[in-house]
Structure 1
Amino acid sequence: MNRPHISIVVPVYKAEECLEELYRRLRAVLEPISPDFEIVLVEDCGGDGSWQVIERLAVQDARVKGIQFSRNFGQYYGITAGLDYCLGDWVVVMDCDLQDRPEEIPHLYNKALEGYDVVLARRGQRQDRWHKRITSWLFYKIFAWLADIEYDGEVGTFRLLSRKVVLNYRRFGEQLRYFSALVQWLGFPTAYVDVEHGERFAGKSAYSWSRLFKLATDTIIAFSDKPLRLAVRFGFALSSLSFIYGVYILYRAVIYGFPIVGWSSLFVSLYFIGGVIIALLGVLGIYLGKTFDEAKKRPLYVVSRTTTEAMDTQS
């Protein structure tokens, strides 16, 4: 069997209504590029009929390969599994809801042929609700500041990678995996292509406010120790202000004879400082907890079954 020229890696979560259309449009744009392609669909146990659709597509077309996790691990672990299993010389990573339009893949591919290992799809006008656009913009601004890296918030998951990038990405072993930042960290020649952001074909986003907040927190902790350094600076600043104010009170008492009073302000100050200490210990505790998770060396994901295994059983 020849190595596929191009692989499409798609994490799948509650996408039963999208998969048939996704396959149809992918096949239409990939066959003119090369008939040697594969579509790797990683089903993240969304609880709907997505896996049954993937199995049906794999029977119809051997170029469709399905992977199902044993439980829900998350989008970035789905991407990791897809990159571990794919075989193509070029690999496109995209979402399953068709907001990443398959018709843009030839533009990414043609740009890569100019000599780039990474081609990022930059969305000009996002087809999302206003609150999601605002929170995404805010997240990327805060993330770039805390992680001390430059990151374009108009770039999502949709991108094309060379085989070289994929092989190096597989070397990452950390549990906290922010796909876009890891690819950027690798440092391979990168280009941008402006693309049209499509409408969601069916369903709604699986990211709730709580999941988005957890993702943002985990990502910042995974890529930066700046919160710790900010906590140290804040502690020194608070101590310096307290010392200056103490000297001022002592000066007034000694020089002008003002009595030292203010039990209420003393108690408020104690509670304030106590709260700050607890918060800073909490930040430190989060980092220690994540370090503990990394030290366990657990597998990043667990595969329950693949379509290849199912076809082998049938044969």
Structure 2
Amino acid sequence: MKLSVLTTLYYSTPYLKEFYERITNSVKKITDDYEIIIVNDGSPDNSLEIVLELFESDKKIKIVDLSRNFGHHNAIVTGLEYVTGDYVFFVDCDLEEPPELIEQYWPEMINSTNVDVVYGIQKARKGNLFEKFSGELFFTLFNSLSDFKIPPNFCYSRLTTRRYTQAILEFPEKEMFLGGIWFLTGFNQKPIIIKKFSKGKSTYTLSKKIALAVNAITSFTIKPLEYIFVLGFILMALASIVIILLIMQKLFFNVNVPGWTSILVSLWFLGGLVIFNQGIIGVYLSKTLLETKNRPRAIVKKVYNCENNL
């Protein structure tokens, strides 16, 4: 029985050595047959140099160096192609989710029958008021629009079986929302309440979070397109009724209908609505374009491991 630990690097310099010590100590309590796969997602700092130093002293480390930054989710899935363990433990190296969680997940996995995933879930979302509100808003919006539901406040740390990770690799899309893929894959998954810590400033900026939310929703539902159709039909029906009423007022009651202000406001409103709807359609079209190009999810520049240092 072999255990694989998978993590990614992006501005990870302050946490790497502590993460390595803590995850190594925890894994050794479970098994001596393990590997640590570290995917460098084009980190601009010296994270790669640090893990290369660790690699020189510990041949259980395998480093997958990507040619540039391809995004957190793509880096994780790319790393999956290099795991060889019977079980895989996913955890970020920023220490927000403690590496020691493997010690909590492991007995739940081993002592449970027919469980392929043990994952963490926050009882209460961490962060300030805006972070908590925006997080709740995202999960509410996603689950209300999508036919497929995800549990609110789930965490990315998880212990999985090999067959589950192999199933993840069957998803070919490049514009990937891994949080949805985790649960769309199915299998029996067991949540555990954990506490997530704050490391300070996150590399997930507000713009990245908005982009992630848009990608998540448009990857898992076409309801926004359906709502555009319904909204267009309703506006067309209302406009037709108003036009008929105005014609009737003019023909039967000889009433002139002034109102340049109302006309301008209506034009601004409808113009903004049209642009907004075109933007939604544009997002779906752009995703279709990117997927049909069939570009690689990520490009591996070099792999460092004790068996074949390519």
Could you say which TM-score interval applies, normalised by the shorter chain? Answer: over 0.9
Describe the SS at the equivalent of 2:305.
Answer: helix
**Alignment partners' CA distance in 2, 1:16 and 1:9:** 17
- Tell me which residue corresponds to 1:117: 116
Q: Does 1:22 align with 2:22?
A: no
Q: Who is 1:87 aligned against?
A: 84
Match of 2:38?
41
Take 1:156 and 1:248, find their aligned partners in 2: how far apart are those partners?
56
Following TM superposition, by how much is the alpha carbon of 1:259 offset from its aligned partner in structure 2, in angstroms? 2.2
TM value normalised by structure 2: 0.93
Matches for 1:255-294 after TM superposition, within 5 Å: 255-294=252-291
Report the 3-state secondary structure (helix = DSSP H, G, I; strand = E; otherwise coil) of the residue aligned with 2:39. Answer: strand
Asked if 1:248 is matched to 2:245, the reply is yes
Letter in 2 for 1:287: Y
Whole-Å separation in 1 of the counterparts to 2:215 and 2:63: 28
Q: Sequence identity of aligned pairs in percent?
A: 29
5+ residue gaps, structure 2, are none
For 1:131 and 1:266, the matched residues in 2 are separated by: 38
Does the Cα contact within 8 Å between 1:124 and 1:197 map onto a contact in 2? no
How big is the alpha-carbon RMSD for the aligned residues of Structure 1 and Structure 2? 2.0
> Within the alignment, does 1:229 sit opposite 2:247 as a pair?
no
1:12-161 aligned at under 5 Å gives the runs 12-113=9-110, 114=112, 115-161=114-160
Cα distance between partner residues in 2 of 1:312 and 1:42: 15
Cα distance between partner residues in 1 of 2:306 and 2:237: 65
Shift in Å, 1:25: 0.8
Matches of 1:131 and 1:160, distance apart in 2: 30
> TM-score, normalization: structure 1?
0.91
The CA distance in 1 between the partners of 2:279 and 2:129, in whole Å, is 33
CA shift, 1:191, in A, is 0.8
* Residues 125 and 197, structure 1, Cα contact 8 Å, conserved in 2: no
Q: 1:285 to 1:39 in 2, by over 3 A?
A: same
The answer to whether the 8 Å contact 2:60/2:306 transfers is: no
The corresponding residue for 1:162 is 161
In the TM superposition, residue 311 of structure 1 has moved relative to its aligned partner by 7.1
Contact 1:45 1:72 (C-alpha < 8 Å) held by counterparts:
yes
Deviation at 1:125, TM superposition (A): 4.0
Distance 2:152 2:184 in 1: 16
- The total of aligned residue pairs comes to 308
The structure-2 alpha-carbon separation of the partners of 1:111 and 1:15, relative to structure 1 and needing over 3 Å to count, comes to same
Distance 1:135 1:62 in 2: 42
Deviates more, 1:256-265 or 1:191-200: 256-265
How far does residue 278 in structure 1 lie from its aligned partner after superposition? 2.6
Contact in 1 for aligned 2:122/2:196 (Cα 8 Å): yes
The worse-fitting range, judged by mean Cα deviation, of 79-88 and 272-281 is: 272-281
Distance (Å, rounded) in 1 between the aligned partners of 2:283 and 2:51: 38
Q: Is 1:99–1:197's contact at 8 Å kept on the other side of the alignment?
A: yes
Q: CA contact under 8 A between 2:67 and 2:301: conserved in structure 1? A: yes
Structure 1, 125-134 or 94-103: larger mean CA deviation: 125-134
CA deviation after TM superposition for structure 1 residue 199, in Å: 4.1
Letter in 2 for 1:167: Q
